[in-house]
Amino acid sequence: MATSQLLQLAQQIQDLTSKIVSDLSAHQIPEPNFTPSSTEIPETPETAHLRASLNDAATDLLRLVNGPRNDARNRICTLYDIVAWQAACEFGFFDAVPEDGGASISEIAVRANVDEERVGRFIRILATDRIFEEKEPGRFWHTARSVVFLRDRQIRDAVHYQVDEYFQAAAQTATSVKQTPDGFTLEKNPFVASHGAPLFQYYKQNPTLAARFASAMAGIGRMERQFDDLKDSYAWATLPKGKLIDIGGGNGHYAIALARTYPNLEITVQDSLEMMAAASLQDLSDLSGRVSFMQHNFFTAQPIACASAYLLRQVTHNWSDEDCIRIFRGIVPALEKSAPGTPLLVNDVVLPRAGEVGLYHERRLRQIDIMMMVALGAGQRSEGQFGELLRRADERLKIVGIHGTGNLSLMEVHLVRE
């Protein structure tokens, strides 16, 4: 009798779930449930690997059982789930339901300033995904999957900006492709087609949305353990004496965290005048001057030579190939004056080759790639694509290693000398 693929997938699901349950039990952590008091499975590299494998097996089982037509219908109609998310974020549904009690549709409608009929339709489709629960007719309570957005403003902002300005931009993608036969740029892309200005200019013109975007980025960083991945991906403690230059490092949030983790590090954060102003508001008294800030445009030559390392954290995905070449080329003179083997560290997504990682993990990376296309006319790159950009910037720039296991890799580049 032929082996059943459905039963093989079901067995994988059971084996992986058993491993998760065993790990939770060994650490005396309760299993998650859908109540607001539920705990979450801890975020570690091990649980991330198990989660990805479980998602691959469970999703493949559902794909096979549902069949192509049903699966396509389910996927395409998630558009209307996003509509309900948009309404919930925009009109404050998460705040309208108290954490320690339920709320009627009429109560939510008053607090949200939206009519009862539409509130009921929006919140009921969310409840089918266990976002809220209708325990009594017309009365809703929080679940674990909704209360997180009441408790954590940054995570809610991470959803809100996606279902608002990014969702509007995404709807313009096919039209924008037709209008740009030579490809997208920072000035010509779906975001510009939707909002009339490039992303960075749009946020300068809309400071309230800019603040929400900044909050969202902080939330995503926590959700995806971006600092932990950065911290654990490289032997920072072994860097020789000298400054780590964080190019385009924003307000220094990650540099400050690195400096607090590794007392050997001295870091200079380079960014715009606006970012310098934001950085000046932070209390760095515990760092004894080990983190400093300077204004610098990374399209110009790097002014600090003889550094211990240069870091580009989530910079390259914002820019076109030609712009990335300019950024890399601007660092070369400083690398030439630094000690041989001084690393240029590029902290960004490195797209995998076909079959290199599971589909769940690859899909998450390629979602980020399409998001960059929509928002900035830019994108994520593979190791080969990065290598080609580095070669075009200077043939001596070589990738010597790719570190890390999370969504963001740490690509180590050296200036190879004769």
Residues known to be catalytic:
317
The full DSSP string for 251-316 is TSHHHHHHHHH-TT-EEEEEE-HHHHHHHTTS--GGGTT-EEEEE--TTS-----S-SEEEEES-G
Let me know: does 189 contact 175? Beta carbons within 8 Å: no
The full DSSP string for 281-294 is TS--GGGTT-EEEE
- Token pair recorded at residue 56: 């691959």
**Phi and psi torsions of 355, nearest 5°:** 80, 0
- Token pair recorded at residue 383: 């190791």
d(CA 312, CA 410): 10
For the chain, the residue count is 418
**Kind and range of the H or E run holding 348:** strand 344-348
d(CA 212, CA 200): 13
Encoded amino acid at 110, one letter? V
The full DSSP string for 138-168 is TEEE--HHHHHHHH-HHHHHHHHHIIIIIHH
Q: What letter does residue 42 receive in the DSSP assignment?
A: -
Which one, of 261, 357, 256, 358, lies nearest residue 313 by Cα?
256
First-to-last CA distance in the chain? 63
Let me know: does 332 contact 393? Beta carbons within 8 Å: yes
Beta-carbon contacts of 375 under 8 Å, excluding residues fewer than 6 positions away, are 166, 169, 189, 190, 191, 199
Which one, of 410, 25, 325, 375, lies nearest residue 184 by Cα?
375
HSE-CB for 190 with a 13 A CA cutoff = 19
Sheet holding 139-141, edge to edge: 103-104, 139-141, 133-136
d(CA 31, CA 18): 12
